[in-house]
Structure 1
Amino acid sequence: MAYDIKITGGLIVDGTGTPGIIGDLGIKDGKIVAMGTAEDEADQVIDARGRVVTPGFVDIHTHYDAQILWDRMLTISPWHGVTTVVMGNCGFGVAPTRPEHRELILETLKIVEGMSYEAMTEGMGKDWSFETFPEYLDVIEANGTAINVGVLVGHTALRLYVMGEASVTRAATVEEEAEMGRLMHEAMDAGAIGLGTSQSEVHNSFAGNPVPSRLASESEIEGLAMHVGRAGGTLQVNHGVENSDLDLMGRYNKNTGSRVTWTALLGGMLGPGSHRPYLDKIRELKAQGMEVSPQVTNRPVFFEFDYLNPMIFEMLPTFNGLLRDDNLDNRIAAYKSPDFRKEFEAQLLPYQIGWTDNAVISHNPLDPSENERPLPEVAAEHGMSSLDYSFELALKTNLEAKFRVAMLNHDQVEVEELLTDKNTVLGLSDAGAHNSQLCDACQATDLLQVWVREK
């Protein structure tokens, strides 16, 4: 057999955990047909001596749904050895979308996924070249991409398409559920790999409303997942730590045949060791034949935020109501209030308690010498508590000061337990999203550097 491509002399690491071998690879019609020894001739020969030949990473949790339309390279995932990405996670896609809802979709992506509204409007233009999900896939295929792409149907986009702005205020009618089901069936036939949805309380959209998928009933999600299961697809669910009903996810798998992956299981979600009962429950579900796999990550979950748009606190009553108010003067007045600060501190969720201890000042436009210094250290120099100084600095800088904090997954003992459990799956890079707050598209490189080489 003549190969199209032969890669010779490299250290072949096949990803199964077996030791690497020096050898050759033969590739024909886009498939590996020989490994170790590849004796036939080839149209193209690549000398890999002194290099490692390995499968690319599959990143199952990205948000390139808008970016892919102007950046065929899906920057920066390929820089880190990723050769396949999955988009549409957590229900935040851009199709199907009616022309009158385009701004609402982009506003939702801006708020929830920290994407630049200006970049999206410039990159996608005023006249999108698609409306339906099949048309969206056609555009992606026509444009071409540097790496492989799988797309989940975004539940938020689907719900907004069928229900309009009522999608953020009420449950769907029987007729609306049926229409969503028809569109879901159409999308799966066109090449969608499943459905992404979110019930997480941290996900709010335009005008401070819950994202549309949060108003979906169990029957609505299950009805859509029936079409996913029929096609052998995956249901990706972001229930958040506050709604992590694993029995419900088990029912979705059992009743619909969809593989279910849950975002996300992280160290420290409800305090030290809080991930262990979830791992035990997943083992129980697996023993019953249910296919439910929590997504985990090897990286600490860092967030960079300012008090203009403090996304990481928006689920708290103090901030949720305040952020619904577009009057910036009211927000500033609240930040000045000692009572507001006390209420804020009292409402912190378990994984947020003590956040100031791990925080650094990432941007002080008035005094760059404070940049990248620990917040507690700088606050002490000013004779204030860390929380008070964070607010005072924000007020002095017209809410431009930024802070970075490792909020979750920073205990390496817990992370190792999550990574090595046979029932978890690596995910949650969030590549393409939160660029102003974090950048975990480097997840694959970090895995190799820290958890393979160093550990």
Structure 2
Amino acid sequence: MAYDIIIKNGRFFDGSGGPSGVRHLGIRDGRVEAISESPLDETGAKDVIDATDRWVMPGFLDNHTHYDAELLAAPGLTESVRHGVTTIVMGSCSLSTVCAAPKDCADLFSRVEALPREHVVAALEQHKTWQTPTEYVRFLEQHHMGPNVAMFLGHSDIRSKVMGLGRSVNERLRPTPEEMKQMEDLLEEALDVGFLGLSTMTNPWDKLDGERYRSSQLPSCYAGWGEYGRLHKILRKRRRILQSAPNITTKVNTVLFALTSAGLFFRRPLKVALITAADTKAYWFIWILATKLAGITNRLLRGNMKWQTVPMPFEVYADGMDLVVFEEFGAGEAALHLADELERNELLKDEAYRRWFRRDYESKFQPRVWHRDFYDAEIVDCPNPKVIGKTFGQVADEQSIHPVDAFLDLVVEHGRKLRWKTTIANHRPEILRKITAHSGVHIGFADSGAHVRNMAFYNFPLHFLRMAKEAQETGEKFMSLEKAVWRLTGEQADWYNVDAGRLAVGRRADVTVVNPAGLNHELGDYHEEPVEMLGGMPRMVRRNDEAVSTVIINGRVAYREGKFSDDYCAQGRWGRLLKAGVADSIDTPLAGGTEMPVKGKAAGAV
């Protein structure tokens, strides 16, 4: 029988971390049919892809996205797929769109993830017909998705559903016994139908949008550890995953997450995925503490805790004051509370407010993530061309004023037309290599689908491959290309317990073909692309179309040489809903319930 697709002459990585080599792949009916050292018979093949001088590997897994609304209105998720991502995980940070009403979901998502609320509401009101995890799964199983999708249930989602949004953000209230039981039942139901686990949030930065409860923290932040513990107990019993964020500013409760993960005495460990391990400019040593804690937790306490980290400089852009880091101190939070630009400008002009902002800016004792250095913040666009290319500190020096005043003056004068950038973390390549090589770290945390004007880490897998390639070329100690591919594919698929990340005979054919010549500095080049579902708002992206030659999802070519297939996400089935512990989303358990079976011939078999 003829193959649907043959990929020939490529350097083949199977996603296991094992040796690579030139192989020929035959794909039929969405599956890998053959992996051969010798050429395959091309007779009758519908498509033959010559991968000479290319790397052929499993599609990448993006472990931290906020595509929950975009998946409804623009299910191709093209900005991820074009970079070789074939599986995404959503429902992170306590946020999902499963149980709460559309407007409640929009209030949960929009300010936290910097998405225009009106468009999030529109997408949810148009598509949301479900109110339970089971109904949501039924919807996704019929939805024409681009990449494969796995998901967490969000704690803020179920807490607001059960308690009502207003009660769920009242710090004086705790769920009644009946409400707690309802949350437990919703979590059990979600796990029954294949959710990966539960996501929670303890970082106080994250605030509600809308007018009803604006600037309240996310509902999950108001829970106590007794409430968390009830839900953790279910996850531990069911061998599922907790995804969360410690208090990123103080970082103290990170120890509680380590103890939660620990397999103490006769208790089994709990998988815990946390954001984020990073080499921040504010605290040069914090990455050491994070990785040491993961090592102690996993080795000495028998835990299973993983930090997520993005393998590239954590560069952020802002339009005026629209940037989440301002939520970490009082003066910034007060400004972001005011959605109306005129009201906000009146506040920014007030001298008492400016004194408050300067105190926060200059404080040496306030915990922080942002370095709070306007000499390290470059203006990239402004109606006043004289300031473009300068830092706010330089502008201040020219005018003999404080950097805070220079910044606020420009924000008042130009509003969101003032665009600037800074790098918060991962600015030292040698330290970034140490972080990304650590066994307690997962490569990811792209926040894909969120912060569309602030950051662009969609192509993070390509940056990681570039790190490995350049280290190999220069002789620097880092990791092999085979291990780097495994870190992006098989390692995470196994840990999240989803059927992805490996190429073997009989497995689903999710394939990315990489052109190593394209793994260069252009991966970091800044571009913008309008997002139709957000009313044409320009999304910040990073693009080098030379880096990825072909992306195949479920045995079908989705993307090739800079263009998507005409029928991509329009006809037939592309991505699948991937359920925890289930092979290819059918009722076949994965081997042992924890790791992927490698079916058929091993990589390299003829």
TM-score of the pair, normalised by structure 1 = 0.90
Q: Per the alignment, do residues 151 and 384 of structure 1 end up closer, same or farther by CA in structure 2, a change over 3 Å counting?
A: same
- Of 357, 364, 380, which aligns to 1:341? 357
- Decide which moves more: 322-331 or 256-265: 322-331
Three-state SS of the structure 2 residue aligned to 1:438 is coil
- Pairing 1:114-193 to 2, within 5 Å after superposition: 114-126=114-126, 128-164=128-164, 165-169=166-170, 170-193=173-196
Q: Take 2:422 and 2:239, find their aligned partners in 1: how far apart are those partners?
A: 39
Displacement after TM superposition at 1:264 (Å): 0.8
One-letter identity of the residue aligned with 1:74: L
> Which residue number corresponds to residue 587 of structure 2?
none
Displacement after TM superposition at 1:8 (Å): 2.4
Three-state SS of the structure 2 residue aligned to 1:247 is helix
> Which residue number corresponds to residue 251 of structure 1?
259
- Of 283, 303, 306, which aligns to 2:316? 303
TM-score of the pair, normalised by structure 2 = 0.69
One-letter identity of the residue aligned with 1:174: P
> Which residue number corresponds to residue 56 of structure 2?
53
Q: Per the alignment, do residues 244 and 87 of structure 1 end up closer, same or farther by CA in structure 2, a change over 3 Å counting?
A: farther
Displacement after TM superposition at 1:152 (Å): 0.5
- Of 219, 244, 249, which aligns to 1:212? 219
- Decide which moves more: 13-22 or 87-96: 13-22
Structure with bigger helix share is 1
Displacement after TM superposition at 1:55 (Å): 1.3
> Which residue number corresponds to residue 331 of structure 1?
344
Q: Take 2:151 and 2:444, find their aligned partners in 1: how far apart are those partners?
A: 15
Q: Percent identity among equivalent residues? A: 23
Three-state SS of the structure 1 residue aligned to 2:86 is strand
Displacement after TM superposition at 1:388 (Å): 2.1
Q: Take 1:134 and 1:372, find their aligned partners in 2: how far apart are those partners?
A: 52
> What value does the CA root-mean-square deviation take over the aligned residues?
2.7
Q: Take 1:240 and 1:409, find their aligned partners in 2: how far apart are those partners?
A: 20
Q: Take 1:257 and 1:397, find their aligned partners in 2: how far apart are those partners?
A: 52
Displacement after TM superposition at 1:145 (Å): 1.4
Q: Which runs of 5+ in 2 are unaligned?
A: 475-606
Three-state SS of the structure 1 residue aligned to 2:130 is coil
- Decide which moves more: 428-437 or 442-451: 442-451
Displacement after TM superposition at 1:127 (Å): 6.1
Q: How many residues align?
A: 451
- Is the CA contact (8 Å cut-off) linking 2:282 and 2:370 kept in structure 1? no
Q: Take 1:240 and 1:302, find their aligned partners in 2: how far apart are those partners?
A: 21
Displacement after TM superposition at 1:176 (Å): 1.3
> Which residue number corresponds to residue 313 of structure 1?
326
Which has the bigger relative contact order, CA under 8 A and spacing at least 6? 2
Q: Does 1:73 align with 2:86?
A: no
> Which residue number corresponds to residue 377 of structure 2?
359
Three-state SS of the structure 2 residue aligned to 1:250 is helix
- Decide which moves more: 420-429 or 4-13: 4-13
Displacement after TM superposition at 1:6 (Å): 4.1
Displacement after TM superposition at 1:18 (Å): 5.0
Q: Take 2:346 and 2:13, find their aligned partners in 1: how far apart are those partners?
A: 59
- Is the CA contact (8 Å cut-off) linking 1:23 and 1:36 kept in structure 2? yes
Displacement after TM superposition at 1:360 (Å): 1.2
- Decide which moves more: 259-268 or 248-257: 248-257
Q: Take 2:184 and 2:430, find their aligned partners in 1: how far apart are those partners?
A: 43
- Is the CA contact (8 Å cut-off) linking 2:294 and 2:306 kept in structure 1? yes
One-letter identity of the residue aligned with 1:226: K
Q: Take 1:359 and 1:319, find their aligned partners in 2: how far apart are those partners?
A: 16
- Of 233, 247, 253, which aligns to 1:226? 233
Q: Take 1:167 and 1:410, find their aligned partners in 2: how far apart are those partners?
A: 39
Displacement after TM superposition at 1:251 (Å): 3.3
- Of 421, 429, 442, which aligns to 1:425? 442
- Of 251, 263, 284, which aligns to 2:275? 263
Displacement after TM superposition at 1:400 (Å): 4.1
Displacement after TM superposition at 1:352 (Å): 2.6
One-letter identity of the residue aligned with 1:401: L
Displacement after TM superposition at 1:281 (Å): 1.8
- Is the CA contact (8 Å cut-off) linking 1:64 and 1:433 kept in structure 2? yes
Write the deviation string for residues 194-220 of structure 1: whole angstroms up to 9, x where unpaired: 111110121111311010000112222
Displacement after TM superposition at 1:376 (Å): 3.2
- Is the CA contact (8 Å cut-off) linking 1:318 and 1:343 kept in structure 2? no
- Pairing 1:279-294 to 2, within 5 Å after superposition: 279-287=291-299, 288-294=301-307
One-letter identity of the residue aligned with 2:167: A
One-letter identity of the residue aligned with 1:172: P
- Decide which moves more: 102-111 or 35-44: 35-44
> Which residue number corresponds to residue 486 of structure 2?
none
> Which residue number corresponds to residue 274 of structure 1?
286
> Which residue number corresponds to residue 412 of structure 2?
395
One-letter identity of the residue aligned with 2:137: L
Q: Take 1:369 and 1:449, find their aligned partners in 2: how far apart are those partners?
A: 36
- Decide which moves more: 319-328 or 263-272: 319-328
Q: Per the alignment, do residues 362 and 39 of structure 1 end up closer, same or farther by CA in structure 2, a change over 3 Å counting?
A: closer
